[in-house]
A = this chain, B = another copy of it.
Amino acid sequence: MRKLLFEMAYDGSRYHGYQVQQNALSVAQVVQDAVEAVFKKREDIVGCSRTDSGVHANQYFFHMETALKIPADAAVIALNDRLPGDVAILSCREIPPEIAANFHARYSVCWKEYIYKIWNSQVKNPFLQNRALQVKYPVDAELLNRCAKEFIGTHDFRGFCSAGAKPTDNYTRTIYETSVRREGDLIEFKVAGDGFLYNMVRIMVGTLLLAPLGKLREGDVTRILASRDRDQAGITAQAAGLYLNRVSYTPFGEETTGGFCEVF
């Protein structure tokens, strides 16, 4: 059996998230259907992450096993021909046999990066419908950037996990890097970490957006983290501005050391 690793990207607007669900269109469903058409039998695909309804991915990985000898490049073309225009296979590679047994698209992930896009203007933008959160009040990106730096480090993120989430015994996550940058009327919040709780990035954004309203000051993120109290944080920002941006199988900061799992 060959083990293949596929890289894809998708506009999540039409989908009820990545995961297959009953009675709702999912990204995994349309990919699974295309895989079945190309590989002539139903091969289970294993995704790198869940994503919520309406969330996008600039980079997403899934693996599958197959006995067929379709070349990797031909599989990319064949799958893209069968997939709708909002789901794209970017690349495919065969996982070397010596690491295939231990490699898992989800469990082997070292860190992930998300982007959250904010359209900061009073003017409605028809091209960012479903792709960014419109915020009409003036947002000081530099202030958000300073507040966001307080997320960096290893913390108990209970305060930034949706109340409706399945309880877990480990709320500790490590955030490696954050940044908030403005380009014209578009503001991008970027965050990289070893893992994220349910709705964690969206609650981070909902909290940071309190700062321009004077309801969050520097030091408050640190205080909310310590409180581990969901009620201290801001609202959960809408899904539409969120993009899974990067998924890495190499420890953070070690991307230049080479080897298969440096997938970029």
Contact = CB atoms under 8 A, between A and B. Distances in A.
Interface of A: 9-11, 56, 80, 85-90, 123-127, 129-131
Contacts of A129: 11, 85-86
17 contacts: A9-B125, A9-B126, A9-B127, A11-B126, A11-B129, A80-B124, A85-B124, A85-B126, A85-B129, A85-B130, A86-B126, A87-B126, A88-B123, A88-B124, A88-B125, A89-B124, A90-B123
A127 B131 CA distance: 9
A89 B125 CA distance: 9
A126 B130 CA distance: 14
Contacts of A88: 123-126
Given A85-B124, A88-B126, 19 more contacts: A9-B125, A9-B126, A9-B127, A10-B126, A11-B127, A11-B129, A80-B124, A85-B126, A85-B129, A85-B130, A86-B126, A86-B129, A87-B126, A88-B123, A88-B124, A88-B125, A89-B124, A90-B124, A127-B131
A14 to B, nearest CB: 11
A77 to B, nearest CB: 9
A248 B112 CA distance: 46
A131 B13 CA distance: 15
A212 to B, nearest CB: 21
Contacts of A9: 125-127
Contacts of A130: 85
Nearest to A81: B124
Contacts of A131: 127
A264 to B, nearest CB: 14
Nearest to A91: B123
- Indicate the member of A9, A10, A56, A80 with the most B CB atoms within 10 Å: A9
Contacts of A87: 126
Nearest to A123: B90
Contacts of A85: 124, 126, 129-130
- Indicate the member of A11, A56, A80, A130 with the most B CB atoms within 10 Å: A11
A4 to B, nearest CB: 18
